[in-house]
Amino acid sequence: MRKILTVTFGILTAIGGFIDIGDLVTDALIGARFGLGLVWVTILAVIGIMTYAEMSARVATATHLPAFDLVRSRVGARLGLAATTGSFFATFLALIAELAGVALAFELLTSVSYLLFIPAVAALMFVLVWRIPFEIMERIYGVLGLALLAFVVAVWHLGPDWGDLARQVTHPPLPSGEGLPTYFFYAIVMLGAQMTPYEVIFFSSEAVEKKWTTADLSTARLNVFIGFPLGGLLAIAIQAVAAIVYFPLGIEVDHLSQTVMPVGLALGRVGLAVVILGVVAATFGATLETVMSSGYALGQYWGWTWGKTVERDEAARFNTLLLCLLVTAAAIGLTTINPITITIYAVFFGAVVLPFTYIPILIAANDRALMGEHVNGRLANGLGSVFLFVTLLASMAALPLLLATKAGL
Amino acid sequence: MKTWWALVAAVLVVASCAGPSRTDEDYANKAAQTAQAMASLLETASLAADASAGGDLFPTFTSVLMSEMEDDASGVSTAFLTRQPPGEKADRIRADLAPLLEDAEAVLADLRIAAFRNQPDELARIAHEIEPVLDGLQRIEELTAT
Amino acid sequence: MKGDPVDGEARERQLDVARDLLDRLVVDRAGIVIGRVDDVELSQDDDGTLAVVALLIGPQVWGRRVGHRLGRWVEGIARQLRAGHDPVRVPVADVEALDPSIVLRNRVDDIDGALLAERWFRDNLIRRIPGGTSASE
């Protein structure tokens, strides 16, 4: 019975956990601009993240070592440093964005400026990291994140022309004034939003913290193989409501309020309130994951004692880092820098560093001496190589496209 | 390695510079973009106003959204009006667009106030004023689009 | 890079320093993480054979190995912050096991200069925050 609960919670958490501020912003922005013309990226991203999340969980359970521990010992100090700092920086940008995201969601509920919520949320975050056990937190925001399913319900209620939507998926529309470079720029942005580096860091570090063994691998796989596709469905729903409401009118999405408004249009006040609570839960969970992952990345590279399950004073450097990250992220958020802009840059930079996070995992998962019987099989290697290639391509094309399209203007 | 970074930095700087509109064509393009951006804000506000009047959106939400639309409109308007029209044709475009931008900002301001005061009937009434401004902006878009 | 005897006894063992030693986690007898092998100290016999004499741990050492401007900068800062303490040096005689992490025979408290930064943050920051001191102290 307990196992069923664990598995259920794991899946539920994975669904809402898939969505963070990056998704909420980019899915709506892209749905408004290209309709459902980039859904193929979501499908690709879901398969990619499933491949690497499973791989990193398998490595973590077989070796009891998390992702960035292996980065340094497999790839060496210099290349490991590049991978670590790249992932750290991308995750830190994401942290600032997620923190602002929680604040923005509270603003929508209370009309109090989001700037006032930033320090409050950061402080609450620290208290949670300091005092509350992992499991309880995860379950709470995991279940509350399901409120985001309001997006799926909203799609239904809006009663769209399904044929038209289907056509957008298979024959991506390029509205007048949009060029192919812009289309592919946003494809990369969406890839970065849905395949985040911190996902893999968090997942593998968590597996080690919870002391999972290979016996827990099936649980991890269920979480990944059921949870992530459902999360992808959520992401498509966010694109869809924007495609239904904004795309025909040529409306540009620049605010979180615009992301959620279609749910209000479809389901009324209650629907709107529910979905915003879902946003709070999802961004809250993501704030936690990004701060922990930033700490994990650095702590694991430098060989510190790290983790939530160790005593605070036994992981002093790690906890100090978490505190500093929260303070710094809050400070940056308070400079009134546009949260949407930070989000776009965070996911964009995430897309750039993604292959560097994945390469060490693929290398470690192929090391028979390390992995024993859990070494990568043909499927894992096949998919792993394909997606490494895809992310490398995206990473290389990212900067040129950014310049060519002036960041998608 | 260093030269590559310098090159990237240089390109970024150049790309981000909003230079003066050198030709009438540049100006016309900018006008079209501005009209489109403003129209987008008005459309969003219109959707929100109607939905709010119909009870689908709660007051704090509408209030925040209208503020955001108004702030964006101010930015869009300023960015365009501070540009020097390079020639006669540009002057005419400016003469057509400027009052529309002003009207748009006025409508959005009214909407923001009505939302703040939680006056759904007012929202519905002001929403009717959006239509003519939208039409005007659309005309500009069509006329000046390349 | 190959090295010969890895511990004081006559047991000879070929190992690839880069793969088996460098950048590995080092833990003490109780399982407490000391750091990573940031560099190794080698000695050279008369006939030219290299042997690993000690493991070196710390950002100071790391900076020196990594080199370039960043490495030298880190090395400089670490040296200043450590104010006179030599880098952490673990003689190979103290190594108990190599896989998957390097396990030592002794306790971290017996190792000179280990965990300076960790303890500094623990005493000056973490323990000053309510809830920072664990019950096991």
DSSP 8-state assignment for residue C87: P
Indicate yes or no: CB of A272 within 8 angstroms of CB of B48: no
Residues 6+ apart with CB under 8 A from C24: A73, C36, C37, C98, C101, C102
Q: Is the pLDDT of residue B11 over 90?
A: no
Mean pLDDT (whole number) for A402-406: 88
| Residue A391 near residue A195, CB atoms below 8 Å | yes
Tens-place pLDDT, residues A249-275? 999 999 999 999 999 999 999 999 999
* CB nearest to A254's CB, from B48, B72, B145: B72
- Separation in Å, CA of B51 to nearest CA in chain A: 6
Q: How much is the pLDDT for C8?
A: 43
Q: How much is the pLDDT for C9?
A: 41
Using CA coordinates, name the residue in chain B closest to A105.
B61
Supply the Cα-derived Rg of chain C in whole angstroms.
Answer: 17
Which residues lie across from C95 on neighbouring strands? C104
Mean pLDDT (whole number) for A198-223: 89
For helices A39-63 and A162-170, the axis angle rounded to 10 degrees is 70
Q: Which chains are adjacent to chain B, needing at least 3 Cβ pairs under 8 Å?
A: A
Amino acid identity of residue A217, one-letter, is L
Tens-place pLDDT, residues C128-137? 888 877 754 3
Whole-number average pLDDT of chain B: 89
**Band of residue B6 on the pLDDT scale cut at 50, 70, 90:** confident
Joined tokens for residue B30: 């900018």
Q: Which chains are adjacent to chain A, needing at least 3 Cβ pairs under 8 Å?
A: B, C
Mean pLDDT (whole number) for A88-102: 97
Q: What is the three-state SS of chain A?
A: CHHHHHHHHHHHHHHHHHCCHHHHHHHHHHHHHHCCCCHHHHHHHHHHHHHHHHHHHHHHHHHCCCHHHHHHHHHCHHHHHHHHHHHHHHHHHHHHHHHHHHHHHHHHHHCCCHHHHHHHHHHHHHHHHHHCCHHHHHHHHHHHHHHHHHHHHHHHHCCCCHHHHHHHHHCCCCCCCCCHHHHHHHHHHHHHHHCCHHHHHHHHHHHHHCCCCHHHHHHHHHHHHHHHHHHHHHHHHHHHHHHHHCHHHCCCCCCHHHHHHHHHHHHHHHHHHHHHHHHHHHHHHHHHHHHHHHHHHHHHHHCCCCCCCCCHHHCHHHHHHHHHHHHHHHHHHHCCCCHHHHHHHHHHHHHHHHHHHHHHHHHHHCCHHHHHHHCCCHHHHHHHHHHHHHHHHHHHHHHHHHHHCCCCC
The position carrying tokens 């997942």 is A203
| Residue C62 near residue C74, CB atoms below 8 Å | yes
CA distances from C38 to A249, A318, A367, C50, C87 (A): 59, 19, 23, 18, 10
Within the 232-261 window of chain A, which residues sit less than 8 Å (CB to CB) from chain B?
245-246, 249-252, 254-255, 257-258, 261
Tens-place pLDDT, residues A307-352? 888 888 889 999 999 999 999 999 999 999 999 999 999 999 999 9
Q: How much is the pLDDT for C15?
A: 65
Mean pLDDT (whole number) for A381-400: 95
Q: How much is the pLDDT for A51?
A: 95
Core vs surface per residue B131-143: b (16+ CB within 10 A) or e: eebbebbeebbee
Mean pLDDT (whole number) for A16-42: 94
**Band of residue B16 on the pLDDT scale cut at 50, 70, 90:** low
Q: Is the pLDDT of residue A360 over 60?
A: yes
Residues 6+ apart with CB under 8 A from A237: A151, A152, A154, A155
Joined tokens for residue A113: 């400026």
**Band of residue A110 on the pLDDT scale cut at 50, 70, 90:** very high
Using CA coordinates, name the residue in chain A closest to B29.
A177
**Band of residue B18 on the pLDDT scale cut at 50, 70, 90:** low
Indicate yes or no: CB of A320 within 8 angstroms of CB of C134: no
Joined tokens for residue A178: 């949009």
Q: How much is the pLDDT for B22?
A: 67
Q: How much is the pLDDT for C7?
A: 45
Ranges A145-154, C14-23, C52-61: which has the least confidence: C14-23
Q: Is the pLDDT of residue A286 over 60?
A: yes
Size of chain C in residues = 137
Q: How much is the pLDDT for B35?
A: 95
Q: How much is the pLDDT for C137?
A: 37
The position carrying tokens 């960043």 is C70
Tens-place pLDDT, residues C34-50? 999 999 888 888 887 88
Mean pLDDT (whole number) for B83-105: 91
Give the separation between CA C15 and CA B38, rounded to whole angstroms. 69
Indicate yes or no: CB of C126 within 8 angstroms of CB of A73: no
| pTM of the predicted model as reported, rounded to 2 decimal places | 0.91
Core vs surface per residue B85-120: b (16+ CB within 10 A) or e: bbeeebeebbebbeebbebbbebbbbbbebbbeebb
Mean pLDDT (whole number) for B16-34: 76
Give the separation between CA B43 and CA B36, rounded to whole angstroms. 10
Tell me, what's the ipTM? Answer: 0.91
| Chain C contact set for A370 (CB, 8 A) | 100
DSSP 8-state assignment for residue C129: S
